[in-house]
Structure 1
Amino acid sequence: MELISPIDLMFLLAESREHPMHVGGLQLFEPPEGAGLEFIRDIHAAMLTHEDVQPTFRKHPGELFGGIANVAWSFDRDIDLEYHLRRSALPSPGRVRELLELASRLHGSLLDRHRPLWETHLVEGLNDGRFAVYTKVHHALLDGVSAMKLIRRALSEDPLDSDVRAPWSMPPRPRTKDKQSSSALGDLVRLTGSLAAFGPSAVTLARGALLEQQLTLPFGAPKTMFNVPIGGARRCAAQSWPLKRIVAIKEATGFTVNDVVLAMCAGALRAYLIEQDALPDRPLIAMVPVNLRTEDDASSGGNMVGTILCSLATDLDDPAKRLDAIHASISGNKEVFSQLPRLQQLALSAFNIAQLGLAMLPGLGSAAQPPFNIVISNVPGSREPLYWRGARLEGNYPLSIALDGQALNITLSNNADNLDFGLVGCRRSIPHLQRLLGQLEDSLVALEEAVGV
Structure 2
Amino acid sequence: MPMMPVTDSVFLLGESREHPLHVGGLQLFELPDGAGQEYVGGLHRELLTHSVAGLFRRRLRGPIGSLGQWAWADDDRLDLEYHLRLSALPAPGRVRELLELVSRLHGSLLDRHRPLWESHLVEGLQGNRFAVYTKVHHALLDGVSALRMLQRSLSTDPAERGMRPPWAPRPGQTGSSTSPAHRLATVAHAVRDLAGMGPVMVKYVNQVFREQSATLPFEAPKTMFNVPITGARRFAAQGWPLERVRAIGAATGTTVNDVVLAMCAGALRQYLLELGALPDKPLVAAVPISLRGDRDGAGGTGGNAVGLILATLATDLAEPAERLRAIAASTRRGKAFYQGMSPLQITALSAIPLAPLAVALLPGAVRIAPPAFNVLISNVPGPRAPLYWNGARMQGLYPVSVPYEGQALNITATSYAGSLEFGLTGCRRSVPHLQRLLTHLDTALGALEKQVLTP
Tell me the TM-score normalized by structure 1. Answer: 0.89
| Residue number in structure 1 paired with 2:224 | 225
Letter in 1 for 2:397: N
Structure 2 equivalent of residue 333 of structure 1: 334
Q: How many residues align?
A: 447
For the residues of structure 1 that align with 2:342 and 2:4, how far apart are their CA atoms? 31
Aligned partners of 1:195, 1:221: CA distance in 2, in Å?
A: 29
- How far off is 1:173 after superposition? 4.9
The residue number in structure 2 matching 1:12 is 12
> What is the DSSP-based 3-state SS (H/G/I as helix, E as strand, rest coil) of the residue aligned with 1:70?
coil
Change (3 A) 1:64 1:120: closer
Q: What does residue 368 of structure 1 align with?
A: 369
In 2, distance between residues paired with 1:235 and 1:129?
A: 25
1:308 equivalent in alignment to 2:309: yes
The alignment status of 1:33 with 2:33, answered yes or no, reads yes
SS of the equivalent of 2:8 reads helix
Kindly provide the amino acid, as one letter, of the partner of residue 265 in structure 2. Answer: A
Which residue number corresponds to residue 301 of structure 2? none
Contact residue 117 and residue 134 of structure 2 kept, 8 A: yes
Structure-2 residue corresponding to 1:395: 396
The CA deviation string for residues 270-316 of structure 1, in whole angstroms up to 9 with x for no partner, is: 111111111000000011123568xxx88998997421110000011
Flag the 1:190–1:361 CA change in 2: closer, same or farther, 3 A: farther
Matched-pair contact (CA < 8 Å) for 1:383–1:415: yes
Alignment of 1:53-452 (within 5 A): 53-63=52-62, 70=69, 72-171=71-170, 173=173, 197-199=196-198, 202-203=201-202, 206-208=205-207, 212=211, 214-291=213-290, 305-338=306-339, 344-452=345-453
Deviations 1:88-127 (A, max 9, x none): 1111121101000000000000112222211110111112
TM-score (structure 2 length as normaliser):
0.89
Structural RMSD (CA): 3.1
Mark the CA change 1:143 to 1:209 in structure 2 (over 3 Å): closer, same or farther.
closer
Which deviates more, 166-175 or 94-103?
A: 166-175
2:144–2:290 Cα contact (<8 Å) kept:
no
Identical counterparts, % of pairs: 57
- Separation in structure 1 between the aligned mates of residue 226 and residue 4 of structure 2, nearest angstrom: 31
Query: Match for 1:256: what amino acid?
Result: T
The one-letter code matched in structure 2 to 1:355 is P
Change (3 A) 1:300 1:38: closer
Q: 1:334 to 1:262 in 2, by over 3 A?
A: same
CA distance in 1, matches of 2:199, 2:167: 47
2:290 and 2:105 map into 1 onto residues whose CA distance is 31
Query: Cα distance, 1:80 vs. partner?
Result: 1.9
Q: Offset at 1:400?
A: 1.1
CA distance in 1 between partners of 2:274 and 2:379 (Å):
26
Task: Describe the SS at the equivalent of 1:24.
Answer: strand
Q: Distance in 2 between matches of 1:216 and 1:192?
A: 29
Residues 129 and 259 of structure 1: CA distance in aligned 2, closer, same or farther (over 3 Å) = same
Per the alignment, do residues 108 and 201 of structure 1 end up closer, same or farther by CA in structure 2, a change over 3 Å counting? closer
8 Å contact from structure 1 (residues 29, 130) kept in 2 = yes
Aligned-partner SS, 1:366: helix
